[in-house]
Amino acid sequence: MQRLIAALLLAATHCQASIIKPGDKKYVSIIRPGDKYSLDPSRDQCTTIIVGKDATGDGGPLTSHTNDCNACDFRLSKVPSKKTSKDEKRDIYRYRAEYPRYLGTDKGKTYEQVKKYYDWKHGKGDFKSMGTVPYDTDSTYAFIDGAYGMMNNQDLAIGESTCGARITALPVSEGGQALMDARELSLIALERCATARCAVELMGGLAEAHGFYGADATAGEAGEALTVVDREEAWVFHVLADDTGTSAVWAARKVPDAHVAVVANQFVITTLPPEEQGSQWLASANVKDVATRSGLWDGSGQLNFLEVYGLSHPHLSTYSTRRVWR
């Protein structure tokens, strides 16, 4: 039995997904074509379904989100609107899934007090601001906050599914230079935006300007998909770190009005035809440059976002693809 356990541990050591640890001087990790890696089959399975307005039956688009997590803080908080100024600074916090995901006074009464299991305090540990960005608005919208931002009082709604990605970066709190994660991006979008297009452009711009990091430091959770809908349009947004660890790569595609899209922890955006840019898709200006200089794409033909930046199908077929088509 001891030999069996030792063999299993040795195999696991050689099959770990690419990971960077807090304090590593190299705070960016890249999985290039041909590199060996594996995914933990027991990881959480968050699925989001997004539906165009002509496919829902009531004339309005919708998105769903199953937040599959065995240790998350499942509370919901009603975050009131706030009078602010464009130059006032907004704190950015480290992503935290477990209870309590946040402790403070600026995200509704839900987070003002917590159970006294540990010495949790605002301004300490995960509840200490990693940095700030300007509010860039005179007032924020009210919204419902869960594991991620959910919906605001302008009928803007967001779903989420963490995706595997080939570039991983560390947050500021762990020695890296990335400030933004999917949760903070979704919250800021709901604070400022009334349309899905505004949300997509804002989240992409913030991730580029301040750096993006995934839910953890493994390739299996290095990227994110956010499904965004307003009263008329539905968009799928993908984001991951860039190769410097200080910015991000992102793309977003509009879901056709009569169509349905499913994201099951795997990027789904593929090609970005030039003739559709602006009307059917949006992307960061560096989407091709990062791919070529990182050795992820040779620059020939059309860039396929899923194939270049996502993890390969053989590793994800039973974990992700089966959920999409079942």
pLDDT digits (tens, 9 = 90+) for 145-169: 999 999 999 999 999 999 989 999 9
pLDDT, average across residues 254-275: 96
Q: Which helix (H) or strand (E) holds 29?
A: strand 28-30
Please tell me whether residue 190 adopts helix, strand or coil conformation.
helix
pLDDT at 14: 32
Q: Which helix (H) or strand (E) holds 287?
A: helix 287-293
pLDDT at 16: 37
Longest CA span, the chain: 65
Please tell me whether residue 249 adopts helix, strand or coil conformation.
strand
The single residue listed with the structure tokens 């089959």 is 41
pTM, whole model, 2 decimals?
A: 0.90
pLDDT at 6: 33
Please tell me whether residue 319 adopts helix, strand or coil conformation.
helix
Q: Rounded CA gap, 64 and 138, in Å?
A: 30
Please tell me whether residue 147 adopts helix, strand or coil conformation.
coil
pLDDT, average across residues 120-125: 92
pLDDT at 2: 36
Q: Which helix (H) or strand (E) holds 323?
A: helix 322-325
Q: Rounded CA gap, 64 and 54, in Å?
A: 16
pLDDT, average across residues 61-88: 93
Please tell me whether residue 293 adopts helix, strand or coil conformation.
helix
| 8 Å CB contact between 160 and 186 | yes
Q: Please, which pLDDT band fits residue 117 given cuts at 50, 70 and 90?
A: confident
Query: How many C-beta neighbours within 10 Å does residue 74 have?
Result: 11
Mean per-residue pLDDT of the chain: 88
pLDDT, average across residues 274-283: 97
Q: Please, which pLDDT band fits residue 39 given cuts at 50, 70 and 90?
A: low
